Amino acid sequence: MMDLKIPGGYTLRPEQEAFAKEASSILHNGGLYMVSAPCGIGKSLAALLASLPQGKKLVICYRTKTQLGIYLKELRALHPPVLAVSLFNRLEMCPLDNSALTYHEFTERCRRLRSETMDRMEADAIKSTGHGSAFRMDKRKLKRIREYPCPYYALVKIDRNGARSFARDCCRSFMDPVQVCALAKKKGWCAYESLKAILPEASLFLGTYHYLFNPPIREMLERSFAPLPEINIVVDEAHNLPLFARELLSAKLSLHAINNAYSEIQRFRTKMSDDLLHAAAPDDVYEAFDQYDNAAERALTITDGLRVVLEKLGDLVGDRSKKVLGDRVGGRSKKIPPRLVGRMVRAACGDDWPQVADHILWYGEVIKEKKENDGEERIFSYTHRVGLALRIFFESTGPSYVHLVERSDDGRRVAIAVRNMDGREITAQVLENVHGGILMSGTLTPLPVFSDLTMSGMNDRVALREFASPFPQKNRLILVASDVTSRLPERSPSMFERWAQYIDAVCASNRGNVACFFTSYALLKKTPTPKTSGNIIVEGRHTLREEVLSQLARSDRNVLLGVMGGKFAEGVDYPGSLLTCAISVGVPYAPWDDYQRALIGYMEGQFPRKGRTYAYHTPAALRLAQTCGRPIRSESDQGCMVILDNRVLSHEILSCLPSYLRQELQIVHSPGECADMIRSFWSGPSG
């Protein structure tokens, strides 16, 4: 095992040392360490200290890319240095201008450019050397590298050693992928391909969850880096893992996509007709024209039929449902048997769904091929995507899938969807096969729930551990209002008014910026605007984090209004004293719709008598804990957390919260009392 030295002058916290020691011994024995460690423990460094000396290759994965910077900073300070490769996805690392392309369009473009580049290189190699190996070409003879379809890719293939040496230099300096891309572009390398070329010799890989949990992407990692049984893993922000895996196994077919496919087929049909009529071989023209025109007609009938099906299904989640469900967070959904959808497809499209899906998949391929042959930049096909989504919708069956018709919050978008309810299909496959691993988060409580949701029957291999917050308790004040709730039957103008009174009281008594997070935009809009002489910032779809953070830095009298789960309530730090109080208005339960009912029912079947805890209370408590934790991100931070919903005091929610929230919360009974508590907090010894 390698002897790893921590940076001079750095002292490990007792909790950090305990974390590193426990994790090290568990990894050594091929186990899994699942740990809930609040902000400030120093999880990243502890995980590196435990896993790097094991002498095994290591994969660190995270949900949000901002985590990467933390690891690179720690790695720079450790000795001896390790060769660590970090990747974003190809699109983010590509030096070409892809601004007009969607991710799928780019993927097609990159694949085509690579394949055409290889073909051209083979042809040039034959011309210049007499044999077809592009890799044995004399690079001096390749004077016209800029003329290759992707010159950046060509340079990596022609000068492999140069690309590797460039990538090694970048990784030794612990550059992040953005820095590598900037440098690679100047030098003419494809950054993604250069870094990928040194994966076999690297001892550490850092990337998003996709690299480990998305099977086709993991294949690349296993091929180039190491197979699962030979690696240890660190899964950061692991509270996201169950949902991430479920989403990976889910698919949606929207009315919008079908309309796009319909227009695409119409445009393509006209283009095909024009091209065929101008073709050089007149004898073949009419036969080919007939063949393609019939196929286009059929594809139009099908997409038109699918549109009718979705419109009819959309009525099932229309206004009536809106009245019932009110303004709960998220979309509305209704369970729909796939057999019924199949019958509707047959009636509207004139064929059974497998033939319908096959035809539009095939026609989508024709569109893509033609675009590729014509050298178009955008070779993505909506028609193809519709065919794929339709196939996934019907082929994803079994107790862990639920088929739904969904309508967006604003009521405008309708889709049919198949949603997975058990991400273990993906996560257990990885966790069972790796040598060992650390799964960690600041909010991974209750630990047994997350263990159950990510692994199946591996309890003898898993050690669960919760750490207390290392920050001084005197630096935070946690208040819960006893006389307000966001329970649907109790939402009334007087409840909104009472919330506003609490918010005004907090704004008047707090020292510094206040953020007020609601369970939904609808609640935000219904609650009277805070009475403050400061600046009010309202989170919107296009609000930029950086702009808000700089506004918070300019003054300490701002009130930020946002939503839980939004860009200001999770995954963002407010350094220094940018934020000194977070108010949570309501408990962020998922909307009570057919999906939620199906999920609870499924969980109940898997974990008897725990369905609601696993599917309903835990996700709400997790989101609430994330929101509350915003003001206190370092040892010296001081701040208040105010929760305006008495349902937090129920056993169901309390038992799912991290221990510091559970143990330190104090109950207030009126806005006045709330303001007094906040004032005395700030005027006390810590204030």
Interface residues toward ligand SF4, by CB under 6 A: 90, 94-96, 110, 113-114, 150, 152-153, 190, 192-193
For residue 117, the minimal CB distance to ligand SF4 (Å) is 8
For residue 122, the minimal CB distance to ligand SF4 (Å) is 17
Cβ within 8 Å of residue 246, ≥6 positions away: 419, 420, 421, 422, 423
For residue 644, the minimal CB distance to ligand SF4 (Å) is 48
Q: Which two tokens stand for residue 191?
A: 């950054």
Nearer to ligand SF4, 151 or 512 (CB): 151
CA 435, chain centre distance (Å) = 25
**Residue bearing tokens 């509207």:** 348
Residue type, 543: T
For residue 91, the minimal CB distance to ligand SF4 (Å) is 7
What angle (nearest 5°) sits at the alpha carbon of residue 655, between those of residues 445 and 568? 55
To 10 degrees, what angle do helices 382-395 and 255-277 make?
Answer: 130
Q: Are residues 425 and 249 in contact, defined by beta-carbon separation less than 8 angstroms?
A: yes
For residue 145, the minimal CB distance to ligand SF4 (Å) is 13
For residue 166, the minimal CB distance to ligand SF4 (Å) is 14
Nearer to ligand SF4, 163 or 255 (CB): 163
Nearer to ligand SF4, 96 or 217 (CB): 96
Nearer to ligand SF4, 113 or 653 (CB): 113
Nearer to ligand SF4, 152 or 292 (CB): 152
Residue 31 has phi, psi (to 5 degrees) of: -105, 180
Q: How many CB atoms lie within 10 A of CB 151?
A: 20
Q: Are residues 566 and 537 in contact, defined by beta-carbon separation less than 8 angstroms?
A: no
> How buried is 399 (Cβ within 10 angstroms: 0-12 exposed, 13-18 middle, 19+ buried)?
exposed
Nearer to ligand SF4, 192 or 499 (CB): 192
Nearer to ligand SF4, 184 or 678 (CB): 184
For residue 213, the minimal CB distance to ligand SF4 (Å) is 22
Q: Are residues 205 and 167 in contact, defined by beta-carbon separation less than 8 angstroms?
A: no
For residue 85, the minimal CB distance to ligand SF4 (Å) is 16
For residue 604, the minimal CB distance to ligand SF4 (Å) is 46
Nearer to ligand SF4, 92 or 358 (CB): 92
Dihedral of the alpha carbons of 150, 155, 158, 159, in degrees to the nearest 10: -160
| Host H or E run for residue 671 | helix 671-683
Nearer to ligand SF4, 88 or 614 (CB): 88
SS3 589: coil
As a whole number of angstroms, the distance between CA 132 and CA 122 comes to: 5
Identify the bridge partners of residue 436 per DSSP, sorted by sequence position.
232
Alpha helices in 315-352 (DSSP H): 319-325, 338-349
SS3 583: strand
For residue 114, the minimal CB distance to ligand SF4 (Å) is 5
For residue 370, the minimal CB distance to ligand SF4 (Å) is 21
Nearer to ligand SF4, 148 or 517 (CB): 148
Nearer to ligand SF4, 113 or 428 (CB): 113
Nearer to ligand SF4, 163 or 416 (CB): 163
As a whole number of angstroms, the distance between CA 218 and CA 281 comes to: 47
For residue 421, the minimal CB distance to ligand SF4 (Å) is 35
Q: Are residues 134 and 157 in contact, defined by beta-carbon separation less than 8 angstroms?
A: yes
Nearer to ligand SF4, 113 or 415 (CB): 113
Give one word for 135, left, alpha or beta, with left for phi > 0 and alpha for psi -120 to 50. Answer: alpha
First to last CA, the chain: 47
As a whole number of angstroms, the distance between CA 687 and CA 682 comes to: 4
Nearer to ligand SF4, 220 or 538 (CB): 220
For residue 196, the minimal CB distance to ligand SF4 (Å) is 10
Say which DSSP state 79 is in: B
Nearer to ligand SF4, 56 or 90 (CB): 90
- Tell me which residue of 687, 682, 647, 638 sits closest to 667, measured CA to CA: 647
For residue 442, the minimal CB distance to ligand SF4 (Å) is 34
As a whole number of angstroms, the distance between CA 615 and CA 487 comes to: 18
For residue 131, the minimal CB distance to ligand SF4 (Å) is 25
Q: Which two tokens stand for residue 606?
A: 């898997």
Q: How many CB atoms lie within 10 A of CB 455?
A: 20
Q: Are residues 583 and 481 in contact, defined by beta-carbon separation less than 8 angstroms?
A: no
Q: Which two tokens stand for residue 522?
A: 């609808």
To 10 degrees, what angle do helices 43-51 and 14-28 make?
Answer: 30
